[in-house]
């Protein structure tokens, strides 16, 4: 199975009479973008569009999701299968990527666990999204919707907008063509026979109550752990739909560009055999946690793995799931590495995870989400600055004439548990 990603670099964005790519510039028709974003959805009351570029004195909040515009040009399926296109399996053929830009959904969001993006200043260094050319959709919905309807309307709006912009790259010539060849786990690539086999356990937040993730359009909270090919993830099979704290939320952009999968594919056949990705979930009840952890361990054993990488999303309740996955794998003789952030208190002296196990003896930390930062005022706010005092990581008094004072958990992606950012933590 071969997936090709054709990267089309975008170095500037701007409004124009039609949406197209010229050189490294993405021209966008605002009228068409709004029309495609709404797509006749009666739940949407209004859509405002704006642009935010790296280095500008702009703050975006509250942010719901970030999505990379893409278009499927060869092979089965389409973008965001099960939600925007059909349910055909993706992960092979060719997909064109508008690299360097993103769709950001913001404005009237559902809950308090949303985040902010600063395009400049001290806050910008904590989020990869400050380096992107962002097309921001400020979406309002009609009164009376349930919270789940509200979330769905926002989620689908962002995906439609990203698919619309991605179409502009259909006929563009990629500057770079990345080729990823994936082999069935029981069919060895030449020269891989004596290398250690490694599986990836990809935990998706799925606790319900707006903590949802979608695989081929299916909410994964009722999913038993399942095996997917790495290219399926890279080709848009997983979509975010949750409202977890912004710092360690996996947006759709994170799923599209999962760095763990990229690194394992890069090293496949060199110093390891990448056996596959087990998509797993985080559950609410103890019974469901035990079921998923044991089933995931069984799949990894069936793959014949010597080692596994575990990533999770969120904190608190998902910490227990991660430790169960780790313990089950270690007891089966599979050496594991966990990637996680920490909630160790403002001074870093509190217990950093809600649960642990002696089996978790190889842990990579992506930083302390409780660390406080002060962010100065900006010239322009896209969205609503007043919500900062109600957001996770904010508090009463966070907003003042001097700017805002918040915990890192307020900044989108700051301690992302896929290892997207540069933060880490080290014990003394």
Residues taking part in catalysis: 243
What is the C-alpha separation between 385 and 334, in angstroms, rounded? 47
Beta strands 12-15 and 25-28 are parallel
Instruction: Please give the Cα distance from 226 to 204 (Å, whole number).
Output: 12
CA distance 407 to 405: 7
Helix (H, G, I), strand (E, B) or coil at 328: helix
DSSP state, 128? G
Q: Is the dihedral of CA 131, 132, 138, 141 positive or negative?
A: negative
Considering only CA atoms, which of 48, 159, 63, 157 is closest in space to residue 118?
63
Could you give the dihedral angle defined by the CA atoms of residues 352, 353, 356 and 360, in that order, rounded to the nearest 10 degrees?
-70
Q: Return all residues near 86 (Cβ < 8 A) that are at least 6 apart.
A: 77, 78
What's the CA gap between 104 and 122, in Å, rounded?
A: 20
Contact (Cβ atoms closer than 8 angstroms) between residue 314 and residue 350: no
CA pseudo-torsion sign 295, 296, 301, 304: positive
Within 49-127, residue ranges assigned H as helices are none
Q: Is the peptide bond before 62 cis (omega within 30 degrees of 0)?
A: yes
Q: By the 8 A CB rule, do 64 and 162 touch?
A: no
Strand order in the sheet with 213-215: 218-219, 213-215, 238-240
Strand partners, 272: 268
Please give the helix or strand (H or E) that residue 223 lies within, else none.
none
Enter the DSSP assignment of 291: H
């Amino acid at each position: 199975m071969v997936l090709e990603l054709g990267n089309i670099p975008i170095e500037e964005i701007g409004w124009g009479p039609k949406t197209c790519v010229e050189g490294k510039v993405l021209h966008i028709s605002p009228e068409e973008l709004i029309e495609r974003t709404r797509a006749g959805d009666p739940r949407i009351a209004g859509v405002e569009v704006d642009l935010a570029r790296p280095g500008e004195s702009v703050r975006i909040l509250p942010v719901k999701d970030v999505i990379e515009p893409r278009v499927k040009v060869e092979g089965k399926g389409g973008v965001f299968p099960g939600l925007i296109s059909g349910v055909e399996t993706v992960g092979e053929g060719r997909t064109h990527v508008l690299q360097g830009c993103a769709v950001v959904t913001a404005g009237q969001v559902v809950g308090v666990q949303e985040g902010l993006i600063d395009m400049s200043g001290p806050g910008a260094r904590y989020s990869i999204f400050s380096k992107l050319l962002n097309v921001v959709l400020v979406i309002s919905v009609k009164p009376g919707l349930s919270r789940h309807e509200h979330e769905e309307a926002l989620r689908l709006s962002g995906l439609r907008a990203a698919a619309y912009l991605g179409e502009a790259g259909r006929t563009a010539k990629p500057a770079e063509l990345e080729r990823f060849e994936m082999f069935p786990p029981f069919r060895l690539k030449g020269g891989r026979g004596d290398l250690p086999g490694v599986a990836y356990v990809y935990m998706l937040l799925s606790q319900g109550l707006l903590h949802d993730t979608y695989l081929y359009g299916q909410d994964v909270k009722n999913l038993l752990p399942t095996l997917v090919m790495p290219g399926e993830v890279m080709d848009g099979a997983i979509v975010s739909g949750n409202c977890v704290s912004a710092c360690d939320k996996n947006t759709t952009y994170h799923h599209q560009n999962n760095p763990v999968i990229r690194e394992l594919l890069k090293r496949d056949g060199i110093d390891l055999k990448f056996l596959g990705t087990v998509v797993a979930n985080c559950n609410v009840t103890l019974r469901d946690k035990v079921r998923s952890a044991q089933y995931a361990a069984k799949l990894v054993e069936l793959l014949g793995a010597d080692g596994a990488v575990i990533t999770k999303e969120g904190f608190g309740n998902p910490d227990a799931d991660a430790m169960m996955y780790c313990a089950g794998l270690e007891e089966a003789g599979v050496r594991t590495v966990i990637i996680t952030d920490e909630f160790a208190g403002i001074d870093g002296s509190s217990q950093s995870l809600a649960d642990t196990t002696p089996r978790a003896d190889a842990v990579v930390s992506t930083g302390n989400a409780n660390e406080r930062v002060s962010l100065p005022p900006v010239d322009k706010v896209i969205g609503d600055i007043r919500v900062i005092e109600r957001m996770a990581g904010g508090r009463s008094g966070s907003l003042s004439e001097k700017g805002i004072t918040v915990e890192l958990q307020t900044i989108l992606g700051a301690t992302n548990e896929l290892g997207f950012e540069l933060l880490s933590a080290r014990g003394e």
